[in-house]
């Protein structure tokens, strides 16, 4: 362990230019710095690239299987398929909705409002509707298709909210893979760094601003931040600018909280694990070692399992809140 780590109790969860290793493997693996002193390559940067590669490998493989038009086979592919469809059908579509549904249920455009589009695109309305229904039947793979060319899959039926799916899927799986990498000993979780989560929150903010501007126009979006108030003219003139400022600050704060929430939950979990394992080092060589060590290991296992749950939960929370913010930008009232 480097001498500089002795004064930093959080060095296990901070970014660094080294990977910590077991002592029998040398203790530390220094990352080459070909761009020093202008630019440093850190372990979180490397882990973010690993998360990107994992996403590319998994979902390119999934996409190729979906394009074949054949039902997906195997628990591995069905696992990722189920997450994709859950985010689409239970998060993005219901919350963002359909501007052309005219008050119908959020799920109705998927089966009714877009059936005409599907029929037009396939030329066989009845067959297309049947393929769509059976793709969601119990026990049938949701991405099942009618053929490799011109067939109907779950992704063939469009929905106005689907244009936001690439962002929501991307941010969810990036956060998930970063969180899961943190569960591997001697690696670390990039989402335990406020700079990383801050950039993710900025992407969500940029998406919200772009969405609101597209939906209502530049001035219309910024005017929508000011709530409608039926006040006498002098009071209205004084209150509306103040309310707009408050709403604008609220817009910035809620995206800031989006970053802090993810950072705090991930960093706190890794810190607790480090503290529990630290109890062993504190009693090493004493009679309490044989009592504290087993309890610490069992505690670490329990917290580790909780961390796996939190890895999925925090990715879902970030994606869900991002969806709500996008929906609010499209439907301010």
| The pTM of the whole model exceeds 0.85 | no
Instruction: Supply the pLDDT for residue 59.
Output: 94
For residues 271 and 260, what is the distance between their CA atoms, to the nearest angstrom? 16
Instruction: Supply the pLDDT for residue 113.
Output: 39
With tokens 């979180």, the residue in question is 44
Instruction: Supply the pLDDT for residue 209.
Output: 94
- Assigned token pair, 276: 């529990």
Instruction: Supply the pLDDT for residue 213.
Output: 92
Instruction: Supply the pLDDT for residue 5.
Output: 52
Q: Is the peptide bond before 37 cis (omega within 30 degrees of 0)?
A: yes
With tokens 């009714």, the residue in question is 112
What digits encode the pLDDT tens for the residues 303-318? 778 888 889 999 999 9
Beta carbons within 8 Å of 7's beta carbon, 6+ residues apart = none
DSSP assignment letter at 89? I
Instruction: Supply the pLDDT for residue 187.
Output: 85
Instruction: Supply the pLDDT for residue 165.
Output: 93
**Low pLDDT (below 50) residues in the chain:** 1-4, 6, 101-152
- Assigned token pair, 254: 């809620």
Residue 182's SS3 state is coil
Instruction: Supply the pLDDT for residue 285.
Output: 66
What digits encode the pLDDT tens for the residues 275-328? 776 766 676 667 677 777 787 778 777 777 888 888 999 999 999 999 999 998
Instruction: Please give the full DSSP string across 43-73, using - where no structure is assigned.
Output: HHHHHHHHHHHHHHHHHHHHHHHHHTTSPP-
Sign of CA dihedral 114, 120, 121, 122: positive
């Amino acid at each position: 362990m480097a001498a500089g780590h002795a004064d930093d109790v959080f060095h296990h969860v901070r970014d660094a230019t080294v990977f910590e290793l077991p002592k029998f493997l040398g203790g530390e693996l220094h990352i080459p710095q070909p761009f020093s002193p202008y630019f440093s390559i850190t372990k979180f940067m490397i882990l973010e690239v690993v998360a990107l590669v994992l996403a590319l490998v998994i979902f390119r493989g999934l996409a190729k299987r979906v394009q074949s038009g054949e039902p997906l086979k195997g628990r591995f592919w069905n696992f990722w398929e189920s997450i994709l469809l859950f985010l689409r059908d239970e998060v993005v579509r219901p919350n963002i909705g359909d501007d052309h549904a005219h008050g119908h249920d959020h799920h109705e455009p998927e089966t009714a409002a877009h059936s005409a589009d599907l029929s037009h695109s396939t030329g066989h309305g009845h067959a297309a509707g049947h393929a769509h229904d059976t793709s969601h039947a119990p026990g049938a793979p949701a991405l099942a298709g009618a053929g490799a060319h011109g067939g109907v899959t779950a992704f063939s039926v469009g929905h106005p909210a689907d244009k936001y799916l690439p962002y929501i899927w991307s941010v969810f799986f990036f956060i998930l893979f970063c969180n899961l990498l943190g569960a591997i000993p001697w690696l670390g979780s990039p989402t335990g760094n406020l700079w990383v989560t801050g950039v993710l929150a900025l992407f969500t903010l940029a998406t919200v601003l772009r969405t609101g501007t597209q939906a209502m126009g530049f001035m219309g979006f910024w005017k929508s931040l000011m709530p409608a108030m039926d006040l006498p003219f002098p009071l209205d003139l004084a209150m509306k600018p103040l309310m707009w400022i408050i709403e604008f600050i609220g817009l910035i704060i809620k995206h800031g909280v989006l970053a802090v929430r993810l950072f705090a939950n991930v960093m706190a979990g890794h810190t607790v694990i480090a503290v529990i394992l630290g109890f062993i080092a504190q009693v090493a060589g004493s009679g309490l070692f044989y009592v504290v060590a087993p309890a610490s290991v069992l505690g670490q296992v329990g917290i580790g399992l909780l961390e796996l749950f939190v890895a999925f939960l925090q990715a879902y929370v970030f994606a869900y809140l991002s969806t709500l913010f996008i929906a609010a930008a499209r439907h301010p009232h």
